[in-house]
Amino acid sequence: MKKIICVIVMLCLCACSNTEKVKLKKTVTIEFYSVATCAECKAFKKHAIPYFKERYGGKVKIKMYDMDDDGTKKPYDQVIKSLKDFDENYYGMSPFVNIKGYMAYLGYRTGDEKQIAKDLEAKLKGKKMSAALSGHRYMYK
């Protein structure tokens, strides 16, 4: 009986995990700038971070920054200065997701992590990214 229960549990765990694993050639750093009281930020932490960790395994490094911490201003400003066409009216808004060296996103809705992953993988392959999140995406100069 215990063996049957173990098999059923294993099958359920495998079926529930529908995240495709992708092997990256080099480690990608995702910097997440958030505010503790922001609902979108909380959703990103709950859904997107585990998704990226599962999808990319040890090839993703997640750095968390608190936008209310004065020490965050310097790295945040460095990212903003490195982006093309960043709208200064959005300065300091969160959640802000920087995929270091590739692109950044402002804002988040549950499920966006799948499109962000597709954009990253397209960029790494030198392919065109989707228009799906283009209004929230900023590219490096």
- The yes-or-no verdict on residue 140 having pLDDT over 80 is yes
Over residues 67-105, the pLDDT tens digits come to 999 999 999 999 999 999 999 999 999 999 999 999 999
The Cα 85–Cα 13 span in angstroms is: 43
The partner residues of 34 in beta bridges, in order of sequence, read 66
- The yes-or-no verdict on residue 1 having pLDDT over 70 is no
What does pTM read for this prediction? 0.85
Average pLDDT of every residue of the chain: 90
Under the banding of pLDDT at 50, 70 and 90, the label for residue 5 is: very low
- The yes-or-no verdict on residue 28 having pLDDT over 90 is yes
pLDDT score of 18: 66
The arithmetic mean of pLDDT across residues 38-59, rounded, is 97
Contact 102, 119 (CB under 8 A): no
Among 17-21, 100-104, 107-111, 135-139, the range scoring the smallest mean pLDDT is: 17-21
Whole-number Cα distances in Å, 62 to 7, 33, 36, 100, 112: 33, 11, 17, 10, 17
pLDDT score of 19: 77
